[in-house]
Chains A and B, each alone.
Chain A
Amino acid sequence: MSFSITEPKKGTKWFAGVLVVGYALITIAPLLWIIATGFKSPTDSISYPPKVIFDPSLEGYVNLFTDRTRATDDMLEAKGEPQTWYEQIARDQGTIISGPSRYGERFLNSIIIGFGSTALCMVLGTAAAYAFSRFRVPLKDDLLFFILSTRMMPPIAVAIPIFLMFRNLGLNDTHLGMILLYTAVNLSLSVWLLKGFIDEIPVEYEEAALIDGYTRFQAFYKVVLPQAATGIASTAIFCLIFAWNEYAFAVLLTSGTAQTAPPFIPTIIGVGGKDWPAVAAGATIFLVPVMVFTILLRKHLLRGITFGAVRK
């Protein structure tokens, strides 16, 4: 395989550079703004004109992770000196920390439900996609359309039947229920995406492995999966992003134990006025897992591992 790359002219490179940096700034600006807001004081966060330079404060993060009660000066006096830096921050606002907030729990729920459903979805999706791609499945086209059609309903339209079903099954407001639900919703997308990726892998690789003395499952596991890594990684990212950001089902089907972070974050606003720094802090932390996951899988997304190994 041969190809040639012509070195672009200096001016062209410069122009391209400016374009890319400009575009990156436009894309990243809202992100930076959210992150910055998390470190502002409530006054700075709503000041007009907006402040780009400000005194950083951890108020937002303290407020995010704690429940506080407003206290009179006498009560503050009676409490004595604050023991920790975050107590100090709370005192400065005229409040006393009454306990940890539920954000940590909600965040953990998001992690369990998001990653759990993504993992389950990948296992089932890869198996189903492999079967659709390689075997003579009766009514294959109808089944594939049926699978896709499950995605056509907006969540809000199916939420009530699902709520009733879940209530009867005892799955309401449980981690398992949410994992199953998000898996079901994501499975159609992942089967379709993964089938496309697996279709691209020549069947001869598995046949070679079968001839080499491996079973069908070993051939799938040792030969198909490594080559489908790119597809699995990108599909996993899609699934995680959906499950992570999902709001409608989470609001309707969870309240106590299994509530995820998205329905929780807006409730922060209500606690003691409009606490935008706390909301921004919540959003910032909420962003991190998907970002880390995507960056970790970046290698697989970019690597075309079958490049040049097959002559077509």
Chain B
Amino acid sequence: MAQIRIENVRKEFGPFTAVQSSSFTIEDGEFFMLLGPSGCGKTTTLRMMAGLDLPTSGQIYIDGEEVGQKPASQRDIAFVFQMFALYPHMNVRGNISYPLKSQGMKSSAVKKQVEEVAEILGITDILDRPVGGLSGGDRQRVALGRAIVRDPKAFFMDEPLGALDAEFREHMSEELRALHDRMGATTVYVTHDQLEAMQMGDKIVVMNHGVVEQFGVPQDIYDWPATKFVAQFIGSPPMNFLDFDGMIGTGGTEVRLNDVILPVPKSIEGANGKLTFGIRPEHVTLDDSAAYRGRVIATEYLGTTQIVTFDTPNGLLKARVASHEVINTGQAIGLRFDPRTITLFDATHGGALRSEANEGVLNHG
């Protein structure tokens, strides 16, 4: 088990820069999510950690040892591929025992260890089956078995649930998380699914265009996004952005949107010009006494809650409200924003402005 540290890692493929100078640390035993849209460099980052791609520059430390330019076979890590990559010319037992054979382990010890792993994963009865006829879930388990059998320093998983059916994913993600908790192994998991990341991860790195946008625990990333990209990528529906021209001084506690004064967390970083007022849908309450108003243009029923879309002077806004409230399209309603939850962004570069509320999170990342 190991701590993994990435320092200024950069990867170029010819003229294309896949990952730009990224740094972060994965603590021992963490379930760590690399999250981002496709093409953001998350898989490349993972492959560099695993040694399947070598970084153009920068250092990778596994357990304190610099392994940046070492081949995968010397890093003592396990990798679970999206398409599982089970060796088709071997049966289940052959697949799981393959990493042990490379270490020259005795066949009696191999047999024992494979059976232990099969027991953990509940695949004892399929050990002698060829891998070709297995269901998606069983293939996934065999791939996991091949990964855990060697007791490596870390597990790397590249969208391991991506190839599974939707109904089975949920089940498998619970199984994966339970397996991690049982083994306590450092796990790095790549996904483009923000829900999966929030659900399973101890920590998340959000990447976009080869850049680390934010790094932290799911709750912090959700509540206090460092950039507009993170605010929009995480959460469904995403954070609302109300664009306005205005200013806030250092120590300011309010902004003026469309001539309405709205309280915000005490600012540490003043700004002037094009700004964005960010608020999560669940932090908007409907209150006719509120001065800031919007007109309802749509409602979506989601069971316990409903999503109401408003047209406001500063753009569209979605609010998550209890589904029993009766709301009619066309109605104008006052909107109240929970002042403790607001993030202000500089609209030109998309970065969050520091306030007393998000300072701790942003300094950490």
Contact = CB atoms under 8 A, between A and B. Distances in A.
B132 interface: yes
B85 interface: yes
B23 to A, nearest CB: 24
A199 interface: no
B353 interface: no
Interface residues of A, number: 25
Interface string A203-218: 0110111111111101
B11 interface: no
A112 B314 CA distance: 85
B244 interface: no
A305 B88 contact: yes
Contacts of B139: 311
B146 A212 contact: yes
A308 interface: yes
A213 B83 contact: no
Contact of B73 (A210, A309, A310): A210
A216 B73 CA distance: 9
B110 to A, nearest CB: 13
A171 B349 CA distance: 73
Given A306-B88, A308-B132, A213 B103 contact: yes
Nearest to B90: A226
Interface string B113-139: 000000000000000000111001001
A311 B142 CA distance: 14
A215 B73 contact: yes
A308 B102 CA distance: 26
B146 A205 contact: no
A260 interface: no
A210 B146 contact: no
Contacts of A213: 73, 99, 102-103, 150
B229 to A, nearest CB: 30
Nearest to B149: A212
Given A211-B73, A213-B99, A213-B102, A309 B81 contact: no
A15 B134 CA distance: 38
A3 interface: no
A207 B50 CA distance: 10
A289 B83 CA distance: 42
A202 B83 contact: yes
Nearest to B50: A211
Contacts of A211: 50-52, 72-73, 77-79, 99
Contacts of A305: 88-89
B99 A212 contact: yes
Contacts of B77: 211
A202 B85 contact: yes
A153 B26 CA distance: 60
A135 interface: no
Contact of A208 (B51, B85, B89, B150): B85
A38 to B, nearest CB: 42
A35 B222 CA distance: 82
Q: Name, among A211, A306, A311, the residue most crowded by chain B CB atoms within 10 Å (CB to CB).
A: A211
B163 A223 contact: no
Contacts of A311: 83-84, 136, 139, 163
A207 B52 contact: yes
Given A207-B79, A307-B132, A212 B98 contact: yes
Nearest to A312: B83
A183 interface: no
A227 interface: yes
Interface in B86-105: 86-89, 98-99, 102-103
A205 B132 contact: no
B270 interface: no
Nearest to B75: A211
Nearest to A205: B85
Contacts of A312: 83
B72 A210 contact: yes
B102 A310 contact: no
A305 B130 CA distance: 11
A51 to B, nearest CB: 52
A242 B85 CA distance: 36
B101 to A, nearest CB: 9
B246 interface: no
Contacts of A306: 88
Contacts of A308: 132-133
B85 to A, nearest CB: 4
B71 interface: yes
Contacts of A223: 87
Nearest to B152: A211
Contacts of A307: 88, 132
B77 to A, nearest CB: 7
Given A227-B88, A305-B88, A311-B163, A204 B103 contact: no
Contacts of B131: 309
Contacts of B103: 213
A214 B132 contact: no
Interface of B: 50-52, 71-73, 77-79, 81, 83-89, 98-99, 102-103, 131-133, 136, 139, 146, 150, 163
11 contacts: A205-B87, A213-B73, A213-B102, A214-B102, A215-B71, A227-B89, A309-B88, A309-B131, A309-B132, A310-B85, A311-B139
Interface of A: 202, 204-205, 207-216, 218, 223, 226-227, 305-312
Given A208-B146, A311-B139, A312-B83, 6 more contacts: A207-B79, A208-B85, A211-B51, A216-B71, A226-B89, A309-B88
What are the 8 A-B residue pairs with the smallest beta carbon separation, nearest first? A309-B88, A213-B102, A204-B85, A212-B99, A308-B132, A208-B85, A210-B72, A226-B89
